[in-house]
Chain A
Amino acid sequence: MSSVIEAEKLNFAYLRVPVLEEISFTADAGDYVGIIGPNGGGKTTLLKLLLGLEQGRGKIKLFGQPLAQFKDWNKIGYLAQKSPVSQSRFPVSAEEVVLMGLSDRHGSGVSLSELKQVHEAMQKTRTREYAGRIFHDLSIGQQQRVLLARALVSNPELLILDEPSTALDPESREMFFNLLGELNTRHGVTILLITHDTGEVGKYISKFMYIDKTLVFYGTKEEFCHSQAVADKLGSFAQHTIDHLHNHGHCPLGCSCGGTQK
């Protein structure tokens, strides 16, 4: 199985305070990785490092290419935790925002194939009905779905999502996670997802990554449920997570632990 992301000894410090230390992992094609950890644990910073939005130490390869030489950005879709556009009053339509997800052309013209891609992405995220509306006139939840369409419009092979469901209502959240699950299972899209909805997305996720400055755990959800390292490290956060995972006497992650802890 080919590696989509190879991270080796990633380190990042902000004003000399370590944020991430010695993070190494590999994500293979088709992986659906749920990234969890406490606030301030470095989850968002890790994603930013992978995308080149922050500069740290260590080696990163995307689709086998070193990050500095990587040019095929249409292969990657990104949705930020708190996009600067949520407060922007930029007069662009939802459709134009989605178009920004395509990076092949630079001028103002739009080709028919691009429009088709935009409409398909908006169809998937159920945003087609307000394609012509001004982006900042939409509700935060609607904006988030448009931004998801922007992340999907290039038909990416890798989706990097930072707590994308926080602004969504329950119905949209379910649609959102079902869509991600379908993209992963049917189309083989690799997904890295920071989330606190461990219970909700557990049925789709194939691997868990627990980050708290260092990489505490990285493995399958079955291994996660039985990991002593996780149990030792998590402390109070563990209880919250475990409660999520084992409510109603069964493991919602769908692993074979049967809803019981080791």
Chain B
Amino acid sequence: MISEFLSYGFVQRGLLAGSLVAASCALLGVFLVLKRLSLIGDGMSHVCLTGVAAALLLSANPVYVSVPVVAAASLGIMKLTQKFRIYGDAAIGIVSAAGLSIGLLITALAGGFNTDLLGYLFGSILTVSKDEAVLCGVLLAVVLGGLFFFYRDLTSACFDEPFARTRGIAVQTVNTVLIIVTSIAVVLAFKVVGIFLISALIIIPPVSALLVSRTFKQVLWLAACFGVSGVWVGVYFSFVFNIPSGASIILVNLLVLAGAYVWARLGGIGHAR
């Protein structure tokens, strides 16, 4: 059954794109979770609705329209917290509500988009195009490159931001790049798990990895592995049991999280949060 499952081109493309984007989301998610910004993925996903609705209205590619919309919104969250000294979670809530309401407004004005919009809300990994798969590959390359060349800057800026600034690290730039790359990851991920579940790809694998890891590098590797394996096992279950792939992927991730929790409790080697 597995060979039959893997023999389909659209399955191969979906699995490849899903793995690439899940690994990117998990790696970025490690930093966001540790900076207590994990819900920014949730806020961005709601803003995705505005991008998708606008793209469908304009008959444009939702990915290309959503990237600038979500990036602008996430930079807006940063500005709200820095310039207006609004708490991060409140800023995310404000931008998230704005994104959702504008998206719904566009949808209503356009008379609804029926199945197209539903596909984006709940994900359809098997409809990923070749171009989108290539974009997912570029995204992961950017994330891995950033980690390789700026590992110390990233860890230092996440661990102790004021101190990092006294080391001459451009913390503001690090944060901005992290947020913009996350925006792109979120947009590419909505094909995989759907707008509603994107934040789970950012939060759950890193939290699972943090439960069972002793070092930061271990956290990064394990988070990426958990994210990728969640996509593979989730898509397989989706194929076998004929269930929505997005929900299946996230449920597998939740099972991994439960397993990591039990492992940490029994082995006592992790850092239960």
Residues of A within 8 A of B (CB): 48, 51-53, 71, 73, 76, 78, 80, 83-85, 88-93, 96-97, 99-101, 103, 105-108, 134, 136, 150
Contact = CB atoms under 8 A, between A and B. Distances in A.
Given A83-B160, A92-B216, A108-B217, A103 B155 contact: no
Interface of B: 34, 147-153, 155-156, 158-169, 210, 213-219, 271, 273
- Residue from B149, B150, B163, B213 whose CB has the most chain A CB atoms within 10 Å: B163
20 contacts: A78-B163, A80-B163, A84-B162, A88-B34, A88-B159, A88-B160, A90-B158, A90-B159, A90-B216, A91-B213, A92-B159, A96-B155, A99-B152, A100-B159, A106-B150, A106-B153, A107-B148, A107-B149, A134-B214, A136-B271
A91 B219 contact: yes
Given A91-B271, A134-B271, A85 B159 contact: yes
A43 to B, nearest CB: 16
A108 B148 contact: yes
A100 B213 CA distance: 20
B155 A92 contact: yes
Contacts of A51: 165-166
A93 B155 CA distance: 12
Contacts of A97: 159
B151 A106 contact: yes
Chain B contact surface mostly: helix
Given A80-B162, A107-B151, A101 B167 contact: yes
B84 to A, nearest CB: 12
Contact of A85 (B150, B160, B214): B160
Contacts of B158: 90
Given A84-B162, A108-B151, A103 B34 contact: no
Nearest to A70: B168
B169 A103 contact: yes
